[in-house]
Amino acid sequence: MTDNQSVQNDDLIASFFESQPATISDEFRAGFVAIVGRPNVGKSTLMNHLLGQKLSITSRKPQTTRHRIHGILTDEDMQIVFVDTPGIHAKEVKAINERMNKAAVSALSDVDLVLFVVDGLQWREDDLLTLEKLSATSLPVVLVINKSDTVKDKSQMLPVIESFNESFDFADILPVSALRGHNLDRLKSVIGQFLPTRPPIFDPEQITDRSERFLASEIIREKIMRTSGDEVPYDLTVQIDTFKDEPAHKDPETGKWRRAVTFIDATIFVERAGQKTIVIGDKGSRIKQVGIEARQDMEKLFDRKIMLTLWVKVKKGWSDDERALNSLGY
């Protein structure tokens, strides 16, 4: 064995022992924390900024989140499993709205703490509906007043906080700005007080329990919602048809190594032909832009090269069809 090989082996051995998991303290805490509230109050943005990584898709449109998504934050003292939920809303105009509400409410069944997120000084009917759902549980609830940075006169928040406190026995009340990161460290500290003492629930390196297929479909849906403004309503969904990993390999023709790549084929379903035209855009410009932005986000999240192919199809009435919703994963 050469001296160089010996040094390499020593480095590998050292790297192995450095990568071994640290001993878990007897005081380590772990638990589930549901993030609930009406649509468009910043629940997904809050979870993403607490995690320090974008996991849930976001847009200015209400009801962007349609599924329960677990985001896992682990440090040396605790593991918080956030449960991001669809916005609770009163108007269940379609079957998909009913399922979204059920997904949000069912998240309350197996958690240790609830973060009830409201939007600054705005208090609306759907906030009251959410509070009504929380009143039916015995869970500790922390009121998170988001977008506090938009309130110029902070003294205006005091009577609002008092009003909130009179309406429910909150475990704590915290004004935050999810987007600006204001008071999030304090929020993490408060969360830790309500988590039971136990070992990590998930691998400390894990950031979610959702599959890459699911995350890919959500990224595509986000890009459509963001690039199409108000032109495309919420009755669109994305189905991943193919998700194939090709490992790094030597090209038999050129003899050069080709990097690992994942091939993804996805179908975007809309309900009307006019919506298909909007999603595709003039001469395919919009769907091309969606593909570029979605691929870039996937490569950042999955840490490998992505080859993405998108199709747009009309599936009439899918958002109000129970069988269609089942087949599309709702």
CA angle 214, 30, 105 (to 5 degrees): 55
Please write the tens of the pLDDT for every residue from 151-208.
777 777 777 778 777 878 899 999 898 888 889 999 999 999 999 999 999 999 999 9
| Structure confidence at residue 104 (pLDDT) | 59
HSE of 227 in the Cβ direction (CA atoms, 13 Å)? 20
SS3 call for 229: coil
| Structure confidence at residue 72 (pLDDT) | 94
* Adjacent-strand bridge partners of 257: 250
Give every CB contact of residue 275 below 8 A, 6+ residues apart in sequence. 232, 233, 235, 236, 314
Within 157-297, strands assigned E span: 172-175, 236-246, 249-250, 257-258, 261-270
Cα 319 to Cα 330: distance, rounded to the nearest angstrom: 10
| Structure confidence at residue 93 (pLDDT) | 46
Low-confidence ranges of the chain (pLDDT < 70): 1-23, 57-67, 86-107, 121, 229-234, 319, 321-322, 324-330
Q: Is the pTM of this model over 0.85?
A: no
Closest CA relative to residue 310, chosen from 263, 271, 272: 263
CA angle 254, 257, 259 (to 5 degrees): 130
* Spatial strand order in the sheet of 29-36: 69-74, 78-84, 29-36, 113-119, 141-146, 172-175
Separate counts of helices (H) and strands (E) for the chain: 10, 11
